[in-house]
Amino acid sequence: MLDGKRILLIVAGGVAAYKSLILVRRLRERGVSVRSVLTAGGAEFVTPLSLAALTEDKVYRDLFSLTDESEMGHIRLSREADLVVVAPATADLMAKMAAGLADDLASTALLATDKPVLIAPAMNVEMWGHAATQANIALLERRGVLRVGPGAGDLACGETGSGRMAEPEEIVVAIENALAGRASGALGVSASGALAGKRAVVTSGPTWEPIDPVRYIANRSSGKQGHAVAAALARHGAEVTLVTGPTHEPDPANVGMCRIETAREMLDACMAALPADIAVCAAAVADWRVREAAGEKLKKENGGLPALELAENPDILHRLANLENRRPPLVVGFAAETGNVVAYAREKRRRKGCDWILANDVSPGTGTFGGERNTIHLIDEEDRVEHWPTAGKAEVAERLALRIAGRFAAA
C-alpha cells in the first residue's frame, strides 16, 4: 500500500539520524520515493552522500541555493509529496515549527507545506520533559501534526528515559497509518504508551526435547518473530514476559525474560506469568517429546537402533485460550503452514480457540523460518482475513502491537 507514494523526509541534527538512513531503506523497499532535506545539524550526523545514495535522489540543504531553487523551489519541494516526515525531529526544529519560524530550508518547507506532517521526536530525556518542549508538542498536535514516539530506553547521550526516536519499523507503520488517514489522535501513529498497564506473555523460539543428556529433538525456529513481538509490545508500554526456548536472539529491551528448554517448561512458565491481558504464542513448540528421555547417553555398542517412543506435548496456545478463569482477554497464535495457508489457519484458529491467528507460509523458499521477512494473513475473531504486505519481522511485530493496541482502545 505504500508503493508509489512520495515522502519528503526532513533529517534534523541528532544522533538518531542514522536510523533515518535505515528508514529510507525500508521505505525504498516498499516502493516509496523519498526526497530528503538535510539540516545543517543533520549533516553533522549523516553525510549528504549516504542520504543521496539511499534515496537515489538529490539531497536538498540550502534555502538560498540558486541551483536548487531553479530546479525545484522550496514551495514545490514541500508540496510534491504525499506526506512530510521529520525524523529525527529535534527540540529546536519542533520549537521552530511551533513558532512558525522559517529561517532555513527545513523550517521553510514545514511552514509552506499543505501536506500532513509526521514527526519522530528524538532528544535527551530532560529536553523531552521540559515544559517548553511539551507545550510545543501539544500545540503542534492541536494543529494536526502527527507524531510517532519517542520511546523510552537507553538514550545515545548515556541517560535513560523518554526521548529515543521510534524505530524505523515503527515509523514505517506510522507512515502507512498517516497515509491511510488512520492517524487520528494518539493511537495508530503516536502509539507509544498505548499498552501501558497491560500485561503480556509471549512465547518464542523452538523447544528442545531431550532424547538423552546430549541429544534432543528441535526445529529451525530462530525466535526472531517472537522476540520482535515482545519488543514491540514493550515499546508500546506493556509489561511483557517473554518465555523463550534456546535462541541466538538478544534479549529485547524492557522485557522480563524466562528461558526454558522443553514444551512442558514453557507451559509452566506461561501459567506462572498469568494473569495477563494478552498472550501471543509465537514459539515453534515441538509437538512430540521422547516419552522417557534416557538418563545416560544412548550407546551404539549394543547393536540395533534405539526405539524412541514419542509422547504428545501440551499445546500451550490451546491451553491458554481455553482456561476457565484466567484466560487472557486476547489470545493470539501463529500458524505455520506450507499450503492452503488461509484455509488451514482458519481451521486452526477454531481448533485452538484463540482470538486471532497470524498465518504465515513457511514453505522452503519463502525464507520465513529462520529468515528475516514474513508475509502474514491475520484471521480475526470474526474469521475475517487481513492480508499484510511482506515485511521484516520487526515491522510485522509493530503492526501486531498497533493492532492489539487498537483492539484494547476499541474495547
Instruction: Report the residue number, 188 or 226, with the smaller CB distance to ligand CTP.
Output: 226
Residue with cell 528475516: 372
* Nearer to ligand CTP (CB atom), residue 8 or residue 336: 336
Of positions 69, 287, 347, 380, contacts ligand CTP by CB under 6 A: 287
396 binds ligand CTP (CB under 6 A): no
Q: For ligand CTP, which is the closer residue by CB, 125 or 293?
A: 293
In this structure, are residues 362 and 336 in contact, taking their beta carbons and an 8 Å threshold? yes
Among 27, 86, 109, 335, binds ligand CTP (CB under 6 A): 335
Interaction between residue 333 and ligand CTP (CB under 6 A): yes
Among 285, 290, 321, 401, binds ligand CTP (CB under 6 A): 285
| Contact between 317 and ligand CTP per CB under 6 A | yes
Q: Which one of 66-74, 104-112, 233-241, 329-337 is the stretch in contact with ligand CTP (CB under 6 A)?
A: 329-337
Please select the residue that binds ligand CTP; options are 68, 92, 315, 361, rule is CB under 6 A: 315
By the rule CB under 6 A, 316 interacts with ligand CTP: yes
Binding mask 122-151 for ligand CTP (x = CB under 6 A): ------------------------------
Geometric angle at alpha carbon 256, from 250 and 262, rounded to 5°? 75
Residue 215: Cβ within 10 Å count: 17
Q: In whole angstroms, what is the distance from residue 411 CA to residue 405 CA?
A: 10
Cβ–Cβ < 8 Å for 117, 131:
no
Distance (Å) of CA 157 to CA 220, 252, 365: 38, 20, 42
Position 16 contacts ligand CTP (CB under 6 A) = no
- Work out which of 263, 341, 402, 404 binds ligand CTP, going by CB under 6 A: 263
In the bound complex, what is the minimum distance in angstroms from residue 226's beta carbon to ligand CTP?
8
Work out whether 355 is an interface residue with ligand CTP (CB under 6 A): no
CA dist 21 and 76 (Å) reads 24
Shortest Cβ distance from residue 332 to ligand CTP (Å)?
8
Which of these ranges, 17-25, 73-81, 113-121, 312-320, lies near ligand CTP under the rule CB under 6 A?
Answer: 312-320
Q: Which stretch binds ligand CTP (CB under 6 A): 92-100, 111-119, 328-336, 394-402?
A: 328-336
In contact, 374 and 368? CB cutoff 8 Å: yes
Does the active-site annotation cover 157? yes
Count of positions on this chain that bind ligand CTP (CB under 6 A): 15
Letter for the amino acid at 214?
V
Query: Cell numbers at residue 294, please?
Result: 534416557
Distance CA 70, CA 291 (A): 77
In the complex, what is the shortest distance from the CB of residue 285 to ligand CTP, in angstroms, rounded to a whole number?
Answer: 4
Map residues 186-205 to x or -, x wherever contact with ligand CTP holds by CB under 6 A.
-----------------x--
The single residue among 45, 60, 128, 334 that binds ligand CTP, judged by CB under 6 A, is 334
Interface with ligand CTP includes 245 (CB under 6 A)? no
Under the rule (CB under 6 A), what is the footprint of ligand CTP?
A: 203, 263, 281-283, 285, 287, 313, 315-317, 333-336
Q: Which residues are catalytic?
A: 157
